[in-house]
Structure formats: C-alpha cells, structure tokens
Amino acid sequence: MFITIQAHEYGKYQSLLDQMHRLRKRVFKDQLGWDVPVQGEHERDRYDDMKPVYVVWCSPDAKTLYGSMRLMPTTGPTLLYDVFRRTFPHAADLTAPGIWEATRTCIDVEAIARDHPDTDPARAFGLLCLATAECAVAHGIRTMICNYEPHMARVYGRAGLEVQELGRADGYGRRPVCCGGFAMTKATVARMRSVLKVDLPLYHRGFASSSAVAGLAA
C-alpha cells in the first residue's frame, strides 16, 4: 500500500522510517556516492527535522518498506533553494503554497524483487511516482519540483510523467543537475495509469487522517 506519513504519525510508523533512512544511506551514499550526511547506517539531513511528509510504499501490515519519497512545501526551507539554486533561472519564483519539493526518492530493489517478483525497478519507480501524483491531486498540490540528472527525464517519460525542465547547472557532481516541474493534475494521473496499466488508485486518501488531509496543502 501507498501511504503518507506526517510528523504526528512518525511514532506510529517508526519502523518504516528507520527502514527508509537505512535505504537512503544504501542508495545515495553507498551506491551513488553522493555527499550526504550519514549517521551510522542512516542517511538523514536537516530537512528531515522540519517535519516533512513522506510518501511510503509498504506492505499491507506496514512492516516492510519498498520505497519512499520526501515532500516539503516550498514556502519553507528546501534543498531547491538552499543547495540547488543555480539549477533554475533567478527570475523564476518557485515558492507558493501549491508548489512542493520532492526529494530523496528511492526504492528497495531487493525487497521488491522478493515480494513483487513481477515488478522490475523501472516499474516500481513509476508506481511510486504515480502514487505521489495521486496524493498531490487529492491534497491540492498543483506542481511538484524536483532536481534530477538528465537521464532521469527518460525514466519519468516511461512512467507517463511529463517533466518541464526549468534549468540545469554543473558543479554538483559528475553530471549536470536539472530542475524540473511536474504538473500534478487529474490528466497527469490518468496518463500515468494508462502507461503503467494501473486500473485502480494506488494512494487512498482514507489512509491519511483528517488532520493529514488538511495539513498537506496548508
């Protein structure tokens, strides 16, 4: 199932969040070699202390994590402005209640292969993105902003997710880093469901509490 975890639910889903930080360390530090803060076996940065929303793909009993993504409103501090400001034009204003930042997207390839053997990594990534788009539409988020390496545009496209590149810059790693905007609309969701051949919603609004529904787009 695909759920959102907000600050008031961190204690309830402590095991999932622990798995998430461990997965992030394996993916971003060990595999990709990014310069990210690591505490033991966990990857965690200061934005995790700012009460972000996490979109999580987990087993029905909420004991096994398959993937996650961190969402933060652009009305507060974001990686976009604090770290990757050179990736989009200075004239662009990407701060608004309806614009959110998506970061630290990752999937657990081994757990998915074990429990969902018919789902390859590309499809798994697409399903997580689709669930996030459904969540955004349900809660009034109109645009998602993300930094990514150029080759990821093709990966998004294979999931039916169109990205508008707003700019790019060198100097962050071996490859340029792009800044892209994603329209979070019913049409986007419909297109992704068609491409991914998903008939029913992945993200169910009922999984979130009433306060979460109100808080996501606050």
User: Which of 68-72, 90-94, 173-177 is predicted most confidently?
Assistant: 68-72
Q: Span 193-218, mean pLDDT?
A: 66
Phi, psi of 7 (to 5 degrees): -55, -40
Using DSSP, state whether 74 is helix, strand or coil: coil
pLDDT tens for each residue of 11-70: 999 999 999 999 999 999 998 888 889 999 999 999 999 999 999 999 999 999 999 999
How confident is the prediction for the chain on average, in pLDDT?
Answer: 92
Integer angstrom CA distances of residue 9 from 14, 39, 51, 52, 84: 8, 22, 10, 11, 29
Paired tokens of 215: 């808080």
pLDDT in the model for residue 216: 44
Whether the Cβ atoms of residue 162 and residue 192 lie closer than 8 Å to each other:
no
All structural domains of the chain, each given as residue ranges with its CATH number in brackets, are 2-216 (3.40.630.30)
